[in-house]
Chains A and B, each alone.
Chain A
Amino acid sequence: MAAVGSAIGLGNLWRFPMVAYENGGGAFLIPYIVALITAGIPLVILEYAVGQYFQGSSPGALGKVKKPFAMIGWWALGVGATISFYYAVIMGWSWDYLVFSFTQPWAGGPENAAAFFAHVLRRTSGPGEIGVISWPVLIGLAATWICIYWIIKKGVLRVGKVVMLTVPLPALLTLLILIRGVTLPGAMEGLKWYLTPDFSALLSGKTWLQAYAQVFFSLSLGFGILTAYASYMPKRSDISNNAFITSFADAGFAFFAGFSVFSILGYLAQAQGVPIAEVVEGGPGLAFVVYPTAISLMPGAPLIAAAFFLTLLTLGIDSAFSIVEGVVAGLRDKWNISQNAAAGGFCLFGFVVGLLFATGAGLYWLDIVDHWMNNYGLVVIGFLECIAIGWFYGTKKLRAYINEVSDFQIGWWWDVFIKWITPLALGWALVANVVEEFKTPYEGYPTWALMAGGWSVVALIIIIAAILTAIPGTKREREEM
């Protein structure tokens, strides 16, 4: 349940529907399912199996395969930690908007909603102009880190209880918003845009690339989360069926969230008398500008807005605390410190670093760091995990263990995917991204900003990972490796 909660996050709501819309609509679902089967599910099985078999967090478990591979684990945790710094800020915005839901200060059209969003963030003109810290964002950020600390300070027992609420609640709230959405005028037009297949998109390499990227990011692969959660499971627990359940639940939620998003977009387009292409937006723009605008036009807007931002919070919180738990597990295992101390120290550190994203330039830096972490952090880690297990540890050995403990057997296909197909797909995605990066600077940001927020952060994480691998941990850790 915790792994399902971790996989289903904000990306399912604000990324998947837009990626599908931009890459052939209904036709995108074909490469998406292919990517789920050829890369997503095999890697989820791998991460679960590594964590459960070696009974350790990502660096500890991979370090048992071969000591230098612990660096892949630390790299994964470094990327996860960096993502948690800005993910908590997005959740901070959600707290603010949940409070604002009852007064609807964004009402009056998309321009007003965009201006209000910029006002809340105290947004400046670019990444070079830091501006001031936004108080509402600061308070929301503090609330988020306090929640994360409270949930994980006692370890997985409290996590287990919290996910009983945070996994079903957003699904229920999204269903309610969907029911409201499809009963609005223009909803079917919105759904037509979402689902009408354009099969010519299947001939484009970009569509397939996007499908693999979406599956990879959405399933929380490469963060070390699944490995950390699996390490808490008894060694005889099922692996393959749990991996399939996590993957299908994540993809199923994303597909279902698309109906909710596009029914609302269809309504907004009709209400404003514009084509749907003019109102479509992904990411924070969808959640904090487009959706609030559409909701403000509905009867009972405050309640629907509150339900929507509560959905964002409950979707985000289990992803956020699972990322932090992965990092905390790594630190705790390395130096044998208490869960409470590791969680408290990291949450405080995360809050301080997150202050950068709470400034007027925060949204720009968030965008840059997010792009680099997703495209060069997670993809490289997934690739290296496949190499470490596929070519050094041996897929046959790990598969024998998986089949011994699982509800159903996985066959030789898994070995082929881990050794060949998945690394090739991820390697291809990586090369294509790097080529694109040098052809067109991301979102037109200045080169110095892309160097500082992108390549430098990636390099810093690699250096820290190498240092953490090299320095000795506790006596127990040294004996286990």
Chain B
Amino acid sequence: MSLSAWITSIAVGIVLYGGLAWCIMMAVRAEREKRDEAEHGSSEPR
């Protein structure tokens, strides 16, 4: 494969799969924060 083909596919791969990984990471982090909040929230009134 030519160099331009390699560069294009790597760049597109970074955008698509990097973007997907970043979004999944955000979703996991938001979920964890919600869970932590719920746990702390339930222990505070005691």
Q: Are A407 and B26 in contact (CB under 8 A)?
A: yes
Pick the residue among B1, B5, B9, B16 that contacts A252 (CB under 8 A).
B16
CA gap between A38 and B43 in the complex, in Å: 45
Q: Are B26 and A192 in contact (CB under 8 A)?
A: no
Q: Are B12 and A255 in contact (CB under 8 A)?
A: yes
Tell which of A243-251, A302-310, A439-447 binds the partner: A243-251
Known A241-B30, A244-B19: A197·B8 in contact at CB below 8 Å: yes
CA gap between A26 and B5 in the complex, in Å: 6
B1-40, CB under 8 A of A: which get 1 and which 0?
Answer: 1101110110011011101100110110110000000000
Residue of A nearest to B13 (CB): A255
Q: Please tell me if A196 contacts chain B, counting CB pairs below 8 Å.
A: yes
Pick the residue among A188, A191, A241, A251 that contacts B23 (CB under 8 A).
A241
Q: Are B8 and A248 in contact (CB under 8 A)?
A: no
Q: Are A196 and B1 in contact (CB under 8 A)?
A: yes
Residue of B nearest to A26 (CB): B8
Interface residues of B (CB under 8 A from A): 1-2, 4-6, 8-9, 12-13, 15-17, 19-20, 23-24, 26-27, 29-30
Known A238-B30, A255-B12, A255-B16: A248·B23 in contact at CB below 8 Å: yes
Q: Are B23 and A26 in contact (CB under 8 A)?
A: no
Pick the residue among A27, A191, A251 that contacts B16 (CB under 8 A).
A251
Q: Give chain A residues whose Cβ lies under 8 Å from the Cβ of B16.
A: 33, 248, 251-252, 255
A175 to chain B, nearest CB (A): 13
Secondary structure type dominating chain A contacts: helix
Q: Give chain B residues whose Cβ lies under 8 Å from the Cβ of A196.
A: 1-2, 4-5
CA gap between A191 and B30 in the complex, in Å: 39
- 11 sampled A-B residue pairs with Cβ under 8 A: A26-B5, A29-B12, A33-B12, A188-B1, A192-B1, A195-B9, A196-B4, A238-B30, A245-B24, A252-B17, A407-B29
Known A248-B16, A252-B16: A238·B27 in contact at CB below 8 Å: yes
For A191, A249, A251, A252, which residue has the most chain B Cβ atoms within 10 angstroms? A252
Interface size on A, residues (CB 8 A): 23
Q: Give chain B residues whose Cβ lies under 8 Å from the Cβ of A251.
A: 16
Q: Are A195 and B17 in contact (CB under 8 A)?
A: no
A97 to chain B, nearest CB (A): 30
Q: Which of A183-210 contact B (CB under 8 A)?
A: 188, 191-192, 195-197
Besides A195-B1, A196-B4, 19 new A-B residue pairs in contact (Cβ under 8 A), listed by A number: A26-B9, A26-B12, A29-B9, A33-B12, A33-B16, A188-B1, A191-B5, A192-B1, A192-B5, A195-B9, A238-B30, A241-B23, A245-B23, A248-B16, A248-B20, A252-B17, A255-B12, A255-B16, A407-B26
